[in-house]
Each structure stands twice: as structure tokens, then as C-alpha cells.
Amino acid sequence: MDKQRIGIPRAFFYYIYYPAWRTFFEALGSKSCLAPIWKPQSAELRWW
């Protein structure tokens, strides 16, 4: 069975402590990865 995969957002608080989160989730038997970089140009924003 594959390990459960946990995505860590690149928000400031989570990204700064990524090594601690990675260690925590690996101790639980899960694999962690960083979310891709979000670019505002890739989303269509509409304000009604």
C-alpha cells in the first residue's frame, strides 16, 4: 500500500516550518510535499 500523501501549503506559517511538518508526517508514516507556487495570472478573478 502506498503512503498517504499530505500537501503543505506555501503560506508563510506553514512554509517556514516545513521541515518540522515533514518530520511530523513522516513519523506518522505519511509522505509530505509542498503545494505548487500559485500565480495570480493563472486564475481568473471576477468581482461582481
Residue boundaries of the structural domains of the chain = 1-30
Rounded to whole angstroms, the Cα distance separating 19 from 37 reads: 18
For 13-40, what is the mean pLDDT?
85
3-class state of residue 33 by DSSP: strand
Q: Which grid coordinates belong to 33?
A: 510535499
Q: Name the percent of the chain in helix, strand, coil, to the closest 5.
A: 40, 15, 45
pLDDT tens digits for range 6-20 = 888 877 777 788 899
Please give the Cα distance from 46 to 15 (Å, whole number).
28
Residue 39, C-alpha cell as written in the block: 500565480
Asked if 3 contacts 25 with a C-beta cutoff of 8 angstroms, the reply is no
Give the pLDDT band of residue 29 (cuts 50, 70, 90). Answer: very high
Write down the pLDDT at residue 8.
Answer: 85
